[in-house]
Each structure stands twice: as C-alpha cells, then as structure tokens.
Amino acid sequence: MNDNHKTAFKQYLAQLRVEAAKELLRAPAPVPMEQVAEASGFLSMSSFYNSFKKMEGTTPAAWRQAQPLVNSCP
C-alpha cells in the first residue's frame, strides 16, 4: 500500500470513507450526520469529524452547506 499509493493503509481507508461521506452529504434530502458517519464506515462521530476536517479543512456540516444546490427538475 505504501509503495503503490504513497500512503499508509489507515490514511487510504480514511480517504475512501470521507469520499463516501461526501457523496451522502450531497444527497438532495439531508441525511443525519450520524447516518452519514455510520454508512461511511466510521465507528464514532469523533473519528468521522476528525478525519473529515483533516482532509477537507472544514466540518462535514459546513462542507454540506457550502455545496451548490442540485436542481432535480429539468
């Protein structure tokens, strides 16, 4: 893992989980943070918030608010 991706497995896994969380946070209907964390594979809210903030530079809630609204109507 370290040689091919230039990252440790734990960090790589956290990146995948944060990307999964971002997909859920972009959903048109708001998903509660606890469900986002759990569905993304985080075992606790604190590890979710810490990983998200470390990688994105902001909290999950602030990141969600900063996303443009997706219009589902043509």
Are 37 and 48 within 8 A, CB to CB?
yes
pLDDT tens, residue by residue, 33-44: 999 999 999 999
Instruction: List domains and CATH numbers for the chain.
Output: 2-65 (1.10.10.60)
- pTM of structure: 0.82
Burial label, 46 (beta-carbon count in 10 A; 0-12, 13-18, 19+): exposed
When pLDDT is cut at 50, 70 and 90, the band that residue 14 belongs to is very high
